[in-house]
Amino acid sequence: MSNSLYGPLPDVAEDAGYSDPPERRGFFTDTSVCIGCKACEVACKEWNAVPDDGFTLTGMSYDNTGALGASTWRHVAFVEQTRPHQVGDGDETRWLMASDVCKHCTHAACLDVCPTGALIRTEFGTVVVQEDICNGCAYCVAACPYGVIDRREDDGRAWKCTLCYDRIGDGLEPACAKACPTDSIQYGPLDELRERAATRLTALHEEGVTEARLYGEDENDGVGGAGAFFLLLDEPEVYGLPPDPVVTTRDLPAMWRWAGGAALALAGGAALSFLGRR
């Protein structure tokens, strides 16, 4: 990868034979340098043979994909803002652009609810769907706190970003990161990406961009930290992201305990009633 505002970025192998020990990998998406070119969307579709979403603009700025889904594994959001000018009178208009993707959560609700084992955690810490095992039950669709996973209408199975598992297994970058011309999308070991993101955030704050913030990097958040996190220039809601995502299966253990207790109580009551009649 070429030099960027981050300085020299680590090279990624361009051929098979990658032999470093597996470690958790992920994405850092710096929206402050996203130019909205959609190269990531196109590269994702081309490499993974993802169907098109249609070629009609939604009416929401320059967006023809709308949101993440079974046929949109990368989605570039365009947000037009009008706000009071920070210097002088009047208003100013700015663009916020961000390439969204599956978060590959540390605590992934989709994994918890999948009844067939179609969803698995890979050796890189990513979450993928094995389409040949998916039965289309859609439990994962309802469980995802980000609304990432969806089913295709033609076959009913669930689909989402795999973080290009076939590429990273051979030491290559995911297709979206490889195609990004500004290094807005960065791929690598998650710990290194978090350090790089913290450095970038500090630099932006020193430049006066005080609204810049990181999203999804906190290991103490409701999903245990995301495997794909972001540097944002406004509140998460502005980008269509939940402000406080929580793994939707967090209460399942307590619910099962209460259900088990209730079942035992009913069984005990039935047994006492039967013995009392005798």
Give the residue-averaged pLDDT of 84-111.
Answer: 85
Q: How far apart are CA 3 and CA 8, in angstroms?
A: 4
Q: How far apart are CA 225 and CA 245, in angstroms?
A: 10
Instruction: Name the DSSP letter for residue 22.
Output: P
Query: Above 50 in pLDDT, residue 216?
Result: yes
Task: Say which residues have a Cβ less than 8 Å from residue 272's Cβ, sequence separation at least 6.
Answer: none
pLDDT band at 15 (very low <50, low <70, confident <90, very high): very low
Query: Above 80 in pLDDT, residue 47?
Result: yes
Written as one string, the DSSP assignment of 44-61 is HHHHHTPPP--S---SSS
**Model pLDDT for residues 139-181, shown as the tens digit of each residue:** 999 999 999 999 998 889 999 999 999 999 999 999 999 999 9
Give the residue-averaged pLDDT of 93-122.
Answer: 94
Q: How far apart are CA 255 and CA 194, in angstroms?
A: 35
Give the residue-averaged pLDDT of 192-220.
Answer: 96
- Percent of the chain clearing pLDDT 90 (strictly above): 66
| Mean pLDDT score across all residues of the chain | 85
